Amino acid sequence: MQEDRRLAVLRAIVEDYVATEEPVGSKALVERHHLNVSPATIRNDMAALEDEGYLHQPHTSAGRVPTDKGYRLFVDRLSTVKPTSSAERRAIAGFLEGAVDLDDVVHRSVRLLAQLTRQVAVVQYPTLSRSTVRHIEVVALTPTRLLLVLILSSGRVEQRLVELDADIGDDELGALRSRINLAATGEVIADAAAALDALVRGDEATPAATPPTAAVVETLVEAMSDHRSDERVVVGGTANLARFGDSFETSVRPLLEALEEQVVLLKLLGEATSGGAVTVRIGAEGPYENLASTSVVATGYGPDDALAALGIVGPTRMDYPGTMAAVRAVARYVSRILDES
């Protein structure tokens, strides 16, 4: 069936181009892959593939290069995700094992991903909005100054100071602490905020809250709805950009600019948080002009893969199977580590 062979040709071209970084010609193809046909046949196939938009030739009398559409087909139908070798798995586990806190996990993950894929790695901090409240502590630093410590399931800790108008006694403080925890502990952020809000508004059954409670709750709700912390992303492995053989100005510069824009990164990663599978965005598929010549491979991590996302950014000409495997493997290990702690 010649349709099958055409796909095999596309696959071979992608593989060779990724390996050699040079346009691949018909002759080289038949030599390197044991397609049992002549170069002329391959040329016909390549011409057809080009008509359909999967290939592109930089100029007449040059070999072919996959287009974004070609890579897309390759990723969707022609590639099998490489299983991670046991050596790799051990490396990942060893690398992440020593992490002591959330910051450390995130930073190690970035380095690890960058190292494994030899690309620029991006890891998003666990989002506030998906976390649940593990515990809220209220500490009186002075009789009028309270320290609020908000501990989340993701391991994140937020703290806030509250100034009171009047002194607060130990009893009142204890009552406040337990009321708040009763309402919020175990809840998803949004629900916790709502519950706390209800607490302070009061209703027929319960009396309106005392001024200290009101002040504390206000601050807590603010901290919870404060999504700045959602916007934190760590980038690593930028040195790998040096391997961008082709033009520095047209590829690397815009990419560096995009990497500085946390908002862009978050949107990219955001697209990947759903579904649980590894997401691949190829070339100009997205609306980001700066990333027109790059691909993003990302996936969610954490419970249900919905806590946050991580991935890599690299040239469209990349080893998709290997990269996808690495991203998936790291995400799994990170999920596991976060689950344990």
Residues lying near DNA in the complex (CB under 7 A) are found at 2, 5, 23-28, 36-41, 43-44, 46-47, 50, 57-64
Are 133 and 187 within 8 A, CB to CB? yes
**147 is an interface residue for a second copy by CB under 8 A:** yes
Q: Between 82 and 232, name the residue whose CB sits nearer to a second copy.
A: 232
Q: Between 58 and 275, name the residue whose CB sits nearer to DNA.
A: 58
Chain centroid to CA 149: 27
Q: Between 27 and 227, name the residue whose CB sits nearer to DNA.
A: 27
- Give the angle subtended at the CA of 295 by the CAs of 289 and 121, to the nearest 5°: 110
- 252 interacts with, out of a second copy, DNA, none, CB within 5 to 8 A per kind: a second copy
Task: Give the C-alpha separation, 205 to 201, whole Å.
Answer: 11
Of 116, 170, 109, the closest CA to residue 338 belongs to 109
- 39 interacts with, out of DNA, a second copy, none, CB within 5 to 8 A per kind: DNA
- 139 interacts with, out of DNA, a second copy, none, CB within 5 to 8 A per kind: a second copy
Give me the least distance between CB of 152 and DNA, in Å please: 54
Q: Between 28 and 99, name the residue whose CB sits nearer to DNA.
A: 28
What is the chain's Cα-based Rg?
26
Could you tell me which residues come within 8 angstroms of residue 36 by beta carbon, excluding any fewer than 6 positions away?
none
Positions in 258-277 near a second copy (CB under 8 A): 259-260
Segment contacting a second copy by CB under 8 A, of 31-39, 198-206, 255-263, 291-299: 255-263
Are 209 and 199 within 8 A, CB to CB? yes
Bridge partners of 315? 294
* Alpha-carbon distances, residue 122 vs 3, 328, 329 (angstroms): 38, 13, 15
Sort strands 55-56 and 157-163 into parallel, antiparallel or unpaired: unpaired
Give me the least distance between CB of 251 and DNA, in Å please: 16
Task: Give the C-alpha separation, 206 to 201, whole Å.
Answer: 9
Give me the least distance between CB of 38 and DNA, in Å please: 3
Structure tokens, 193: 């905020």
Q: Between 40 and 139, name the residue whose CB sits nearer to DNA.
A: 40
**256 is an interface residue for a second copy by CB under 8 A:** yes
Segment contacting a second copy by CB under 8 A, of 89-97, 209-217, 241-249, 332-340: 241-249
x/- binding map, residues 193-232, to a second copy, per CB under 8 A? ---------------------------------x-x---x
**257 is an interface residue for a second copy by CB under 8 A:** yes
Helix (H) or strand (E) holding 161: strand 157-163
**248 is an interface residue for a second copy by CB under 8 A:** yes
Question: 3-state DSSP call for residue 210?
Answer: coil
Give me the least distance between CB of 101 and a second copy, in Å please: 7
Of 73, 111, 108, the closest CA to residue 282 belongs to 73
Backbone region of residue 61 per phi and psi (left: phi > 0; alpha: psi in -120 to 50; beta: other values): left
**141 is an interface residue for a second copy by CB under 8 A:** yes
Amino acid symbol at 70: G
Residues within the interface to a second copy (CB under 8 A) = 100-101, 103-104, 134-135, 137, 139, 141, 147, 149, 151, 157, 159, 226, 228, 232, 236-239, 241-242, 248-249, 252-253, 256-257, 259-260
